[in-house]
């Protein structure tokens, strides 16, 4: 972070405070300080120490699609702001000042950041209460074109994840789409009204009567299509987003998903995506063939019930030497089987003319309560056992839980503005923060690296877990609680009165700003 220092201490509308402990100590002993804060090492601090340790901000310095030729506020500060917002699960820039006051890691990198009296060009009459003006941050991201932000994520961020071994050797990826419902406001220009149920899933109007169709409420929404990597898929999957696209609600998931795969391969090369798991919306023989031939990617996908290849595979099960294998069964309390699933598989199937490569067909026969149903999966990959195909496809169904978590816990549908660029910023940085967090929590070596960063900073400051940060003019200093207390106890009459008066005014101001 040394490159952020400025000889004049000022970077446009913010001040970069330099560390000067002797100067600040003298001022504190005289009772003349501007501000102080208590810090502690929170989870947010540890996470940001991780980002610093893997040089995340440095990586993006040259690649981020900044819309301004002149860098008023350092890019790493702006990225820190937006990532902290997503960690605190908010899309409201008005919450930014309170969020920035909650962390301490940015005070531990050899410099600190504060506000300049009067703001940019001294136009503001009132002093700012946070390191940057929240509206300034909002305006910065508002002018970043959504497609450029997507390209940055799908190229540079994916490359960064790859560099830190976020994509494992199994190479299992999932393409999936979900609807993001927005407020019913005509100013959301890039949304489309779609027939969605109470869980925001698409309603199949063909299954409804004319009368029932009339009662369906159409909701304005975006369509989010993602390329998701399932790392460590066989034990405890880690979910890493390798590509993202946000578009209107009626946008083709097939075309968006195809482009995400092409862009990923063009960026990182062949061999990283080995198996692509998709749903029926991606059922295209031409695309399955192209992925296999051009990208060496296998695809696993359910078969439609009206396809000849499914009928041909079912016909093969009638041969005497073909046996069904037990996949799983359910029993009641008495031990009686009430539901049973059996599987079988066939390789080198070529009866889907649209597909130019041979296919493996895995069938599942389900029976229970006197009913029997057969459905199947097709893949350009040959499985030794049909069980494996169905085990892998189960992973795709778990993506619904990711969507639910993103919507309910990460507030990805909490749109505060009808501006598409800001909405794309909210969605993309939510997925980025989620991905970086998954990478951090899943990799012991990265956690150790982050902890080493913290330990190094602690050792340099010799402060331990907690500290008091004191600001005087354009300088700051960190004190251990014991050191700070000893200075206070030794204050003489006039310095003690000055500090008490300052503290009374400070506490009054804090009460005014408290919710």
Model confidence at 113, in pLDDT bands (50, 70, 90)? very low
Is the pLDDT higher at 105 or at 289?
A: 289
pLDDT at 448: 58
Q: Please enumerate, as own/partner, the contacts of 333-338 that have beta carbons within 8 Å and a separation of 24 or more.
A: 338/368, 338/369
Cβ neighbours for 269, distance < 8 A, ≥ 6 positions apart: none
Q: Which of 111-125, 392-406, 412-426, 451-465 has the highest mean pLDDT?
A: 412-426
Is the pLDDT higher at 274 or at 138?
A: 274
Least confident of 125-139, 264-278, 350-364: 125-139
Model confidence at 109, in pLDDT bands (50, 70, 90)? very low
Query: Is residue 380's pLDDT more than 50?
Result: yes
Domain end residue (candidates: 409, 434, 464): 409
Cβ neighbours for 348, distance < 8 A, ≥ 6 positions apart: 358, 360
Mean pLDDT of the chain: 82
Q: Tell whether 506 and 370 lie within a shared domain.
A: no
Q: Tell whether 485 and 346 lie within a shared domain.
A: no
- Domain assignment present for residue 82? The answer is yes
CA distance 357 to 294: 12
Q: Tell whether 90 and 180 lie within a shared domain.
A: no
Is the pLDDT higher at 425 or at 43?
A: 425
pLDDT at 290: 96
Model confidence at 76, in pLDDT bands (50, 70, 90)? confident
- Percentage of the chain exceeding pLDDT 90: 45
Query: Is residue 328's pLDDT more than 50?
Result: yes
Q: Tell whether 230 and 106 lie within a shared domain.
A: no
Q: Tell whether 90 and 34 lie within a shared domain.
A: yes
Give the mean model confidence (pLDDT) for residues 183-191.
92
Element (H, E) at 58: helix 56-59
pLDDT at 187: 93
- Domain assignment present for residue 147? The answer is no
Q: Tell whether 34 and 68 lie within a shared domain.
A: yes
Beta bridge partners of 254: none
Do residues 393 and 300 touch, judged by C-beta distance below 8 A? yes
Give the mean model confidence (pLDDT) for residues 493-501.
92
User: How many domains would you assign to the chain?
Assistant: 2
Helix 420-442, helix 43-53: angle, nearest 10: 90
Is the pLDDT higher at 287 or at 457?
A: 287
pLDDT at 62: 83
Q: Tell whether 183 and 87 lie within a shared domain.
A: no
Q: Tell whether 137 and 16 lie within a shared domain.
A: yes
Model confidence at 387, in pLDDT bands (50, 70, 90)? very high
Query: Is residue 125's pLDDT more than 50?
Result: no
Do residues 439 and 161 touch, judged by C-beta distance below 8 A? yes
- Domain assignment present for residue 416? The answer is no
Query: Is residue 82's pLDDT more than 80?
Result: yes
Model confidence at 342, in pLDDT bands (50, 70, 90)? very high
- Domain assignment present for residue 33? The answer is yes
Query: Is residue 95's pLDDT more than 70?
Result: no
Q: Which of 39-48, 181-190, 225-234, 330-339 has the highest mean pLDDT?
A: 181-190
Q: Tell whether 133 and 210 lie within a shared domain.
A: no
- Domain assignment present for residue 415? The answer is no
pLDDT at 491: 92
Query: Is residue 259's pLDDT more than 60?
Result: yes
- Domain assignment present for residue 496? The answer is yes
Model confidence at 453, in pLDDT bands (50, 70, 90)? very low
Model confidence at 465, in pLDDT bands (50, 70, 90)? low
Q: What is the pTM of this model?
A: 0.78
3-state class (DSSP) for residue 344: strand
Element (H, E) at 37: strand 35-39
Is the pLDDT higher at 94 or at 229?
A: 229
Domain that holds residue 224: 166-409
Query: Is residue 74's pLDDT more than 80?
Result: no
Q: Tell whether 125 and 215 lie within a shared domain.
A: no
Model confidence at 7, in pLDDT bands (50, 70, 90)? very low
Q: Tell whether 187 and 247 lie within a shared domain.
A: yes
CA distance 273 to 155: 15
Model confidence at 457, in pLDDT bands (50, 70, 90)? very low
Domain end residue (candidates: 385, 409, 433): 409
Do residues 407 and 427 touch, judged by C-beta distance below 8 A? no
Query: Is residue 9's pLDDT more than 50?
Result: no
- Domain assignment present for residue 418? The answer is no
Do residues 447 and 54 touch, judged by C-beta distance below 8 A? no
CA distance 229 to 310: 28
Is the pLDDT higher at 205 or at 292?
A: 292
Of 125, 114, 86, the closest CA to residue 11 belongs to 114
CA distance 219 to 191: 9
- Domain assignment present for residue 188? The answer is yes
pLDDT at 61: 84
Could you read off the pLDDT of 191-240 as tens digits, one per residue? 999 999 888 888 888 888 888 888 888 999 999 999 999 988 777 778 89
Is the pLDDT higher at 450 or at 380?
A: 380
Model confidence at 162, in pLDDT bands (50, 70, 90)? very high
Q: Tell whether 132 and 208 lie within a shared domain.
A: no
């Amino acid at each position: 972070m040394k490159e952020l220092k400025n000889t004049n201490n000022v970077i446009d509308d913010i001040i970069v405070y330099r560390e000067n402990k002797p100067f600040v100590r003298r001022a504190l002993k005289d009772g003349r300080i501007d501000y102080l804060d208590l810090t502690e090492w929170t989870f947010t601090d540890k996470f940001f120490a991780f980002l610093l340790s893997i040089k995340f901000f440095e990586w993006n310095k040259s690649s981020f699609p900044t819309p301004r030729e002149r860098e008023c506020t350092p890019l790493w500060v702006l990225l820190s702001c937006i990532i902290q917002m997503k960690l605190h699960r908010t899309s409201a820039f008005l919450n930014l000042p309170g969020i920035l006051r909650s962390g301490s890691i940015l005070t531990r990198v050899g410099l600190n950041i504060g506000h300049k009296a009067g703001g940019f060009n001294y136009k503001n009459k009132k002093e700012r209460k946070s390191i940057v003006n929240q509206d300034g941050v909002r305006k910065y991201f508002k002018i970043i074109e959504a497609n450029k932000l997507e390209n940055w994520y799908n190229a540079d961020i994916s490359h960064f994840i790859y560099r830190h071994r976020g994509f494992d050797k199994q190479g299992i990826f999932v393409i999936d789409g979900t609807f993001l419902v927005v407020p019913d406001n005509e100013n959301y220009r890039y949304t489309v009204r779609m027939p969605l149920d109470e869980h925001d899933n698409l309603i199949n109007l063909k299954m409804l009567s004319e009368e029932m169709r009339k009662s369906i409420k159409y909701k304005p929404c975006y369509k989010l299509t993602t390329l998701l990597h399932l790392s460590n898929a066989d034990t405890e999957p880690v979910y890493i987003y390798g590509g993202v696209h946000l578009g209107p609600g009626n946008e083709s998931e097939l075309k968006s998903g195809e482009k995400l795969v092409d862009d990923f391969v063009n960026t990182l090369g062949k061999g990283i995506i080995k198996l692509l798991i998709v749903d029926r919306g991606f059922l295209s023989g031409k695309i399955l063939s192209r992925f296999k031939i051009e990208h060496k990617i296998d695809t696993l996908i359910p078969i439609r019930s009206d396809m000849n290849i499914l009928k041909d595979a079912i016909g093969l099960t009638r041969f005497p030497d073909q046996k069904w294998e037990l996949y799983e069964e359910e029993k009641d309390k008495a031990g009686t089987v009430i539901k049973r699933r059996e599987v079988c598989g066939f390789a080198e199937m070529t009866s889907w003319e649209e597909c130019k490569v041979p296919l493996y067909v895995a069938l599942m026969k389900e029976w229970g309560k006197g009913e029997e149903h057969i459905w199947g999966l097709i893949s350009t990959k040959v499985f030794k056992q049909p069980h494996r195909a169905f085990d892998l496809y189960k992973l795709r169904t778990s993506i619904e839980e990711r969507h639910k978590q993103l919507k309910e816990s990460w507030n990805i549908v909490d749109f505060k503005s009808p501006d598409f660029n800001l909405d794309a910023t909210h969605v993309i940085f939510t997925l980025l923060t989620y991905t970086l967090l998954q990478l951090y929590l899943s990799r012991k070596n990265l956690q150790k690296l982050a902890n080493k960063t913290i330990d190094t900073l602690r050792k340099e400051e010799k402060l331990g877990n907690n500290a008091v940060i004191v600001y005087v003019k354009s300088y700051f200093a960190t004190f251990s609680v014991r050191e700070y207390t000893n200075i206070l106890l030794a204050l003489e009459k006039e310095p003690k009165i000055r500090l008490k008066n300052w503290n009374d005014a400070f506490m009054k101001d804090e009460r005014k700003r408290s919710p």
